[in-house]
Amino acid sequence: MRANCWERSGKVRVQNVPDPVILNSRDAIVKITSTAICGSDLHLFNGFVPTMESGDILGHEFMGEVVEVGKGVKNLSVGDRVVVPFPIACGACGMCTTGMFSVCENSNPNAWMAEKLWGHAPSGIFGYSHLTGGFAGGQAEYARVPFADVGPLKVPPELSDEQVLFLSDILPTGYMGADMCSIKGGDVIAVWGAGPVGQFAIASALMLGAERVIAIDRFPYRLEMARDRAGATDIINYEEVDVQEALLDLTGGRGPDACIDAVGLEAHGHGPVYAYDRTKQALKLESDRPLALRQAIRACRNGGIVSVIGVYGGFIDKFPMGSVMNRSLTIKTGQCHVHRYLKPLLDRIQRGDIDPSFVITHRMSLEDAPRGYDMFRHKRDNCEKVVLKA
Amino acid sequence: MQTELTREYREAGSDRRGMPRGLGRRWDAGVHEGVSDPAERRATGLGWFSIALGLAATLAPGLLAERIGAGRGPKKRATTFAVGIREIVTGAGILAGVGRPIWLWARVAGDLMDLALLGRSLRSRRANHPKLLANMASVAGVLALDAITAAQLSRRERREQRTPGRIHVRKAITVNREPEEVYRFWHDLQNLPRFMENIDSIRVANGRSRWRARGPVGIPLEWDAEMVHDRPNELLGWRSLEGSDVLSSGIVEIAPASGRRGTVVRVDLSYHAPARRIANTITKLFGQDPGTQLENDLRRFKQLLETGEVIHSDASIHRGRHPARPPTQKELEAIR
């Protein structure tokens, strides 16, 4: 089959690779109809995530048709149309049974690697380095899906691929970002990053009852999408105005009730602090640049919540713990527990509360994946979200 | 050797009251790896002393030469500076290679050199004789300390080299199953090869078990073991029979996790072989990090109980590194 493989930092290539086979009895093989490039794929592409191997198949946002099931899969049959959650979860361990699917205790065969870096290991993830298991990804014609009786969600035929594809990751991830803000009526939520996840965090905050949602980014086209499509009430371009000043003004000096970091480890900024983080990251003295996170913490109102859904890989510098502690802030974070949100969000899509396809700006064939990565990375042609058709 | 193993086994498995260790309150790191001993701590102290002395001698060589009573002059300053560099190098060596005796022996040589230098200064008319003698006495004191520490570390290193293949690891995991089920699974030793990477097969007959492990170059190791502890739903223990090539023992403690959130399984394994050839095989079998090896075994055990099988990824089915992509037909045949 054809698959988009990571070759080295900054280089991906569509190659011929062997077709997947059933390795565990609860596997299914899915023939992929739609797959997408995620912002976190760019962290792999740019070489910020360790333990990548040349030849790894990328991609963790995919859906398609079941073409084969292992003997342990009773709830799926050949021909079913499914969306696959990006974390691989067994459904039986202590974490899964309490709804913490993205930290499943059984699905990461390379748990020892992750333990060396993070103390404990998260779940396996499709196409997302060997720290998360070394599973082949979904930017391919076919994918093997372990624990297929737990993860994949059957989707009704009346919904198009584009409407349900993002249930695999970015819609639930944005939704969890808002969910972690414990929104009460009247709340003001600020969202750093108007990429696809940020867009869904904004839309979700509104669905969950926020009164105002403020989007922060540096690309006008993304801020416009946040305002016109996701429903942000206010937008801030951090290259034009001081974010802290603007937020103080917008919230009457109090700060947002909750702040969502939908940016993660490759944050941009300007001035000496940005130069400082770029330098430290280049010298490998810190792995992640936490500019958005620092700003979100400082901006949040006293006693507020900072919800982190942007991806971080290792270590950050100059973390404003004093601001967190002295002002009674709460930080909540995690890779999305997608399984939790699949059905409720499918219901919302069916009810018409949200049509996630609004973030798609580019559709291309799997063969064009390298071009898609390049466009998305450099934000060419107002690129917001690339969907690949296999 | 048998008696030594038996003692070790007893110590690992229980405390004075005969209770399995680990059920008590205090976590004892003693059975784990890398606990520093007094000689090692002393060596670290001496390393820092070297660096402090070295800094003083390189930054203010003239002042130091005068203070120790060696006298003044560019020659004295140069010698003191050189001694300072030597001290910094040995100090850094000690701190970087903690536990290695070679750098301590370097300090011993340095002390002897210093004594000689100070002794030569005694002949100089400009020297302060009482001060010099006092300093020679303190150098002699440090020399003694250095020599003792170096000798202790050397002895330890020799001892470690004499006993390869001595593996003792202890790890715990929590399984989302009742203690009864966990006990039943371990009680049937024939289940162990399903998750223990090093064990090829275990055959059980007449209350004894025959263990077979495959060495890294294909030399099989075999030994017979017997159950020595069996307390239903709490404790299992086995030990190789007297006279085996491989002296091995294992203890499995089973207890409900706090709040009954699953069952805690603590496993304590020892391997040792008196014969060097076999010992080397054991060392290779367990690789660089026996702790991680056992941890991974326990994770597979947990997967078996909780999900019914050992979970594979596209990379993990291969020995060594492999990209995350499906196996070729050829690779697949090699695995199956």
- pLDDT tens profile A208-256: 999 999 999 999 999 999 999 999 999 999 999 999 999 999 999 999 9
Q: How many beta-carbon pairs below 8 A join chains A and B?
A: 112
CB atoms within 10 A of CB A279: 11
**Dihedral angle computed from the Cα positions of residues B160, B165, B166 and B172, in that order, rounded to the nearest 10 degrees:** 130
- Please tell me the predicted confidence (pLDDT) of residue A224: 98
Residue pLDDT, tens place only, A141-159: 999 999 999 999 999 999 9
CB A93 within 8 A of CB A104: yes
What size, in residues, is chain B?
A: 336
Angle between helices B74-96 and B38-59 (to 10 degrees): 150
Q: What percent of chain B has pLDDT over 70?
A: 85
CA distances from B91 to B60, B104, B151, B204 (A): 18, 9, 17, 56
Mutation target for B interface from A6, A52, A105, A150: give the one with most B CBs within 10 A. A105
Query: Would the pTM count as exceeding 0.95?
Result: no
DSSP H or E segment with residue A200: helix A196-207
Instruction: Give the pLDDT of residue B165.
Output: 65
Q: How confident is the model at residue B161 (pLDDT cuts 50, 70, 90)?
A: low
CA proximity to A145, closest of A25, A6, A1 = A25
Q: In which band, very low, low, confident or very high, does the pLDDT at B218 lie, cut at 50, 70 and 90?
A: low
**Stretches in chain A below the pLDDT threshold 70:** none
> In this complex, is the C-beta atom of A217 within 8 Å of any C-beta atom belonging to chain B?
no
Residues of B in contact with A135 (CB under 8 A): 313-315, 324
Chain B contact set for A20 (CB, 8 A): 314, 326
Does the beta carbon of A378 lie under 8 angstroms from any beta carbon of chain B? no
Q: Which of A5, A24, A112 has its CB closest to that of B325?
A: A5
The pLDDT, as a whole number, for residue B155 is: 84
Cα–Cα distance measured from residue B274 to residue B285, given in angstroms and rounded to the nearest whole number: 16
Determine how many CB atoms are found less than 10 A away from the CB of residue A225. 27
A-chain residues near B308 (CB < 8 A): 25-26, 72
Q: Is B315 on the interface with A (CB under 8 A)?
A: yes
Beta bridge partners of A116: none
pLDDT exceeds cutoff 70 at B109: yes
Give per-residue pLDDT as tens, B294-308: 999 999 999 999 999
Contact in structure between B100 and B153 (CB atoms under 8 Å): yes
Q: How far apart are CA A234 and CA A73, in angstroms?
A: 47
Identity of the amino acid at A16 = N
Q: How far is B196 from chain A (nearest CA, A)?
A: 14
Least confident among A353-367, B205-219, B276-290: B276-290
Question: What's residue B12's pLDDT?
Answer: 42
**Chain B interface includes A97 (CB < 8 A):** yes
pLDDT band at residue B21 using 50, 70 and 90 as cut-offs: very low
* Structural contact between residues A219 and A379, judged by C-beta atoms closer than 8 angstroms: yes
- B60-76 pLDDT per residue, tens: 988 888 888 877 888 88
Closest Cα in chain A to B298: A106
Can you read off the two tokens belonging to residue A188?
């003001």
pLDDT at site B98: 63
Beta carbons of B306 and A133 less than 8 Å apart? no
Spatial separation of the C-alpha atoms in residues A210 and A251, rounded to whole Å: 13
Q: Which of A25, A26, A53 sits opposite B324 (nearest CB)?
A: A53
Which pair of structure tokens corresponds to residue A191? 């969202």
User: pLDDT at position B194, please?
Assistant: 96
Q: Is the CB of residue A262 less than 8 Å from the CB of residue A310?
A: yes
Q: Show the 3-state SS of chain B.
A: CHHHHHHHHHHHHECCCCCECCCCCCCCHHHCCCCCCHHHHHHHHHHHHHHHHHHHHHHCHHHHHHHCCCCCCHHHHHHHHHHHHHHHHHHHHHHHCCCCHHHHHHHHHHHHHHHHHHHHHCCCCCCCHHHHHHHHHHHHHHHHHHHHHHHHHHHHHHHHHHCCCCEEEEEEEEECCCHHHHHHHHHCHHHHHHCCCCEEEEEEECCEEEEEEECCCCCEEEEEEEEEEEECCCEEEEEECCCCCCEEEEEEEEEECHHHCCEEEEEEEEEECCCHHHHHHHHHHHCCCHHHHHHHHHHHHHHHHHHCCCCCCCCCCCCCCCCCCCCCHHHHHHHC
3-state secondary structure of A64: strand
A108 CA: distance to closest CA in chain B (Å): 8
CB contact under 8 A, A133 and B315: yes
CB atoms within 10 A of CB A342: 20
**Which of A86, A73, A84, A81 shows the shortest CA–CA distance to A124?**
A86
Distance from CA of A367 to the nearest CA of B (A): 17
CB A20 to CB B322 under 8 A? Answer: no
pLDDT of B85 = 93
The pLDDT of residue B276 = 73
Candidates B297, B307, B309: best to mutate against A (most CBs of A within 10 A) is B307
The mean per-residue pLDDT over the stretch B268-282 comes to 81
pLDDT band of B32, cuts 50, 70, 90: very low
Q: What residue of A is the nearest CA neighbor of B301? A: A106
Check residue A228 and report its DSSP letter. Answer: I
Asked whether the beta carbons of A290 and A267 are under 8 A apart, the reply is yes
Please tell me the distance from the alpha carbon of residue A160 to that of residue A110, in angstroms, as a whole number. Answer: 36
Residue B99 pLDDT more than 90?
no
Predicted local confidence at residue B35, as pLDDT:
43
| Out of A216-230, A265-279, B4-18, B243-257, least confident range | B4-18
Q: Which of A262, A264, A322 is nearest to A297 (CA)?
A: A322
Cα–Cα distance between A200 and A184 in angstroms, integer?
18
Task: Give the whole-angstrom CA distance, residue B1 versus residue B244.
Answer: 11
Return d(Cα B307, Cα B297) in angstroms, integer. Answer: 15
Burial state string for B115-134 with b = 16 or more CB within 10 A and e = fewer than 16:
eebbeebeeeeebbeeebee
Dihedral sign for Cα A77, A78, A83, A84, please.
positive
Find chain A residues with C-beta within 8 A of B328's C-beta: 18
Cβ contact (<8 Å) for B311 and A144? no
Question: How high is the mean pLDDT of chain B?
Answer: 83
- Of residues A23, A92, A137, nearest to B307 (C-beta): A92
